[in-house]
Chain A
Amino acid sequence: MTALLSLNDVEKSYWFASGEGMTALEGINLEVKNREFIAIVGPSGCGKTTLLKLVSGLIEPSKGFILVDGTPLQKSHRHLLGMVFQQPALLPWRKVLDNVLLPCEIRGQNLSQARPLAIELLEMVGLKDFIHRKPQELSYGMQQRVSICRALISEPKILLMDEPFASLDAITRFELTQLLLDIWSVKQTTVLFVTHNIQEAVFLADRIIVMTPRPGRIASIIEVPLPRPRKEKQLYEQDFSTCAKAVHELLGSNAL
């Protein structure tokens, strides 16, 4: 079976006006299976975000190639992608429901068909009573839920999440982490989840990509042995802390 997404010896370099170059990513080899949950952890400047941008097609690799379903990544693959950022990045002049429907509008899809799905998604994240509110009337955590719905409305095969919970307080953060797992098991998408938080990575992922900076490389890929569905009590079990410790040591040995 071919991987849903495969990166082959991918490198990304930037050139500054001064003529100097900077290698952000080097020698990235990665195969992602369908419905897999991948977490990417690493210190700042290790190219985590660059990696996501490469997969989303926003930037192109300087070397190597990326395959989606066995064919080279191209613009037509974009409808397979959903994106969630650290900021909710909602449009304040649109109601919650219309924010979720934005991708359908831009892609020229039939809105009356998409609307029931949007409402269903908002119900799933617990925002049923807020669909006609404006984003700024919602809390930050609720706004981030809306932006997850916006990413899911086009039923993406791959969900790209760039530190989506980094700006949330610890309690909201864990709520959303659990919610994300629920969504993932229902929607059966593949997730690439960038984070700074080791606990979050272990709790969520099937595999954790640990990266090191300057130039960004994959230091190791760790399989998370915890059974699913994952529950809060697992946070305090031996397997969990063993896995978290392993990630921590990999990061620690590479100058966090």
Chain B
Amino acid sequence: MKSRWKRLYNNEWVMTLLSFGVVIALWEGLVHIFKVQQWLLPAPSAILAEMLKSSGYLWKHTLVTLQEVLIGFALALGIGILLGLIIAYSPLLEKTLYKLLVATQSIPKVAIAPLLVIWLGLGQLTKVTMVFLMCFFPIMVGMVSGLQSTSRELLELSEVLGAKWYQAFLKIRFPASLPYLFNGLRVSVSMAVIGAVISEFVNADKGLGYSLLITTSQMNGPLAFSVVTILAALGIGLFSLVAWLEKRICPWAKTSQSGSRAEG
């Protein structure tokens, strides 16, 4: 009996779900006990009811935001990897372009959001660009540092073996860089949703960020919280997707997995 409890305790999922459950139960209880107004803080049950009631409305706006996120992220992935490759292989570009890009990262991207509206207009392109700007940098840095971190031994080995540059790249350097790239991906995918929401805050007529602005201005607590819940779910979902891919593609990278505890 005791060992069964211990197994449950050691199971990461059980404990995570349990802690979620406790927080939600407390939330539900406290809202009812103190009779908190709905517009201020709705109970989880009220949020769930609202989500079911307004599912059509929420679905429409979710699709808009999700599309911006996915397009922006895909662009950041493609361009980030490509630029990372070029920079890692070109000392000149590393000294010029790379340093320049690093410097531009000190600009808060939120500050650019209104400017993007001026430059790119009111449409989807502005939001996609914002997502791209949020995601691009960690991916590129991951790619560059991954390629630059190939061990000295492996580089010497491939040279002594007379490997062509593309052989060294395909068989050694690129696969070896994947854990670093995934580090970048995990950071950037959590930024992607933020980028879309910021951009929709600044100027939009659809999407979850827009919907959040409208519902809060109407003091519609349950609906606003529904939107926040969906945003959180989107973030967790995308992050889990990346983590799952990492586990499939480079299982030797131990960084993402929390170490399994030895039974005491």
Give the B-binding residues of A (Cβ under 8 A). Answer: 53, 56-58, 75, 78-79, 81, 83, 85-87, 89, 91-93, 102-103, 105-107, 134, 136
Flag whether B160 is at the interface (Cβ < 8 A). yes
Residue picked from B151, B162, B163, most chain A C-beta under 10 Å: B162
Q: Which residue from A75, A86, A91 sits with its C-beta under 8 Å from B172?
A: A91
Flag whether B38 is at the interface (Cβ < 8 A). no
Residues of B within 8 A of A75 (CB): 162
Tell whether, in the assembled complex, residue B160 and residue A78 are in contact, meaning their CB atoms are under 8 Å apart: yes
Residue of A nearest to B157 (CB): A83
CB distance from A226 to the nearest CB of B (A): 31
Flag whether B112 is at the interface (Cβ < 8 A). no
Q: Which residue from B157, B160, B161, B250 sits with its C-beta under 8 Å from A93?
A: B250
Known: A78-B162, A106-B158. 6 other contacts (CB 8 A): A81-B160, A87-B151, A89-B151, A89-B157, A91-B175, A106-B161
Tell whether, in the assembled complex, residue A57 and residue B160 are in contact, meaning their CB atoms are under 8 Å apart: yes
Residues of A within 8 A of B252 (CB): 92-93, 134, 136
Tell whether, in the assembled complex, residue A91 and residue B176 are in contact, meaning their CB atoms are under 8 Å apart: yes
Residues of B within 8 A of A81 (CB): 160
Interchain Cβ contacts under 8 Å between A and B, 10 examples:
A58-B159, A79-B162, A83-B160, A85-B153, A85-B156, A91-B154, A91-B172, A103-B161, A107-B162, A136-B252
Residues of A within 8 A of B250 (CB): 93
Size band of the interface chain B makes with A: 10 to 19
CB distance from B178 to the nearest CB of A (A): 8
Give the 7 A-B CB pairs with smallest separation, nearest first.
A92-B252, A89-B153, A85-B153, A106-B163, A106-B161, A103-B161, A56-B160
- In angstroms, Cα B151 to Cα A89, docked, is 8
Residue of B nearest to A108 (CB): B167
Residues of B within 8 A of A58 (CB): 156, 159-160
CB distance from A137 to the nearest CB of B (A): 10
Tell whether, in the assembled complex, residue B175 and residue A106 are in contact, meaning their CB atoms are under 8 Å apart: no
Flag whether B171 is at the interface (Cβ < 8 A). yes
- In angstroms, Cα B11 to Cα A43, docked, is 51
CB distance from A97 to the nearest CB of B (A): 15
Residue of A nearest to B163 (CB): A106
- In angstroms, Cα B153 to Cα A53, docked, is 12
Residues of A within 8 A of B160 (CB): 56-58, 78, 81, 83
Digitize B129-152: 1 where CB-to-A-CB distance is under 8 Å, 0 elsewhere.
Answer: 000000000000000000000010
Residues of A within 8 A of B176 (CB): 91
Tell whether, in the assembled complex, residue B161 and residue A78 are in contact, meaning their CB atoms are under 8 Å apart: yes
Residue of B nearest to A90 (CB): B154
Tell whether, in the assembled complex, residue A83 and residue B156 are in contact, meaning their CB atoms are under 8 Å apart: yes
Residues of A within 8 A of B153 (CB): 85-87, 89
CB distance from A168 to the nearest CB of B (A): 16
Residue of B nearest to A57 (CB): B160
- In angstroms, Cα B163 to Cα A57, docked, is 14
CB distance from A158 to the nearest CB of B (A): 11
Residue of B nearest to A82 (CB): B160
- In angstroms, Cα B176 to Cα A81, docked, is 24
Residue of A nearest to B176 (CB): A91
Residue of A nearest to B250 (CB): A93
- In angstroms, Cα B161 to Cα A56, docked, is 10
Tell whether, in the assembled complex, residue B151 and residue A106 are in contact, meaning their CB atoms are under 8 Å apart: no
Residues of B within 8 A of A85 (CB): 153, 156-157
Residue of A nearest to B161 (CB): A106
